[in-house]
Amino acid sequence: MRQNFTYTFSWITVLAMAIFMNFAFANGIKPQKSDTTIIHLQKNRLSTSKSMSSKNGLHLALPPLRPAATSSVKLNVVRNDDKLLNDVQVYPNPITDQINVKYSLSRNAIVTVKIMDVLGNDVVTLLSQRIEAGEQSFSYPLNNKLARGFYFIRVVAGTESVIKRISVL
């Protein structure tokens, strides 16, 4: 009996609060002097009716956009949380006699490039050494080292890895 009373009483309380809030918003709430948000909204509505901030109630006005305006300033920001390994490309795909790998490093790292079969077994290690930062590329002649089929090439730099699917003809 007590549990039913508590459950019913809590729902009645929630409904009553919702009804009172609905009436309060319908009648309009008088802003307090310490509430600067309401005061700024009222000033915006009174000052201009053409402003974007008064149409949709935003508290900020964005600068006007100029179409086709471009900047010639280039920013190179180096952050430590950026990706270490970027733009990994493997070509040509399908591969016949030589594989080309191109990638970009944001800082010096130990890079390992391996070819794996479909089951995930390492077949050939193409590269395993410390590489300088920047865009890197290398070629590796296969010379019938791989049988025809599908393989995966895994490029590992630091703790990041990228896996690409290749097919050998």
What are the tens digits of pLDDT across the range 10-55?
888 988 888 877 766 666 555 555 555 555 555 655 555 444 444 4
pLDDT value at residue 32: 54
Residue 143 has pLDDT above 90, yes or no: no
pTM over 0.85: no
Token pair 């393989």 is found at 151
pLDDT mean over 2-11 = 78
pLDDT value at residue 66: 62
| C-alpha distances out from residue 126 to 9, 77, 102, 112, 145, Å | 72, 32, 13, 8, 12
Q: Walk me through the domains of the chain, giving residue ranges and CATH numbers.
A: 2-56 (no CATH), 85-168 (2.60.40.3080)
The C-alpha angle 77, 80, 84, rounded to 5 degrees, equals 95
Q: Are 115 and 151 in contact (CB under 8 A)?
A: yes
The residues that bridge with 149 in the sheet, in sequence order, are: 168
pLDDT value at residue 110: 92
